[in-house]
Amino acid sequence: MDIILWLKWFLENLILAIESSQELLKSVLQKAEFWKKHQNTSFNKRQIKVLNQMLDNFKANLTTAKWAKMTDSSQDTATRDISDLIKKDILVKHGFARITHYRLKLPE
């Protein structure tokens, strides 16, 4: 009985599983590091909700409209929440006018 093909398949899938686990662990550690860094920073419930979603590989550009929809709040509340996070050096504003969007500030 030749098991070489099965061993090759098994080892290839083992490598894929290890790489996938490493990516997941990296994401979890980045999220934990963010919250540890900001443990003394005050956030409201809406900010915590959106920040957690952004830390969980949020792919889209964050706008005030998306913030308002994600938190079931008004555009004005979204703008205040976002402005507060910019002042706290957590979000960075990109673009201007109708194409304004926000991203998490990446560690340097």
Boundaries of domain holding 23: 1-37
Is the predicted pLDDT of residue 47 greater than 70, yes or no?
yes
pLDDT at 21: 95
Question: How many folded domains does the chain comprise?
Answer: 2
90 and 46 assigned to the same domain: yes
Is the predicted pLDDT of residue 8 greater than 90, yes or no?
yes
26 and 52 assigned to the same domain: no
24 and 56 assigned to the same domain: no
pLDDT at 107: 66
90 and 57 assigned to the same domain: yes
Q: Which H, E and C letters describe the chain, residue by residue? A: CCCHHHHHHHHHHHHHHHHHHHHHHHHHHHHHHHHHHCCCCCCCHHHHHHHHHHHCCCCCCECHHHHHHHHCCCHHHHHHHHHHHHHCCCEEEECCHHHCEEEECCCC
pLDDT at 69: 96
33 and 46 assigned to the same domain: no
49 and 61 assigned to the same domain: yes
Is the predicted pLDDT of residue 11 greater than 90, yes or no?
yes
**88-103: per-residue pLDDT in tens?**
999 999 998 888 999 9
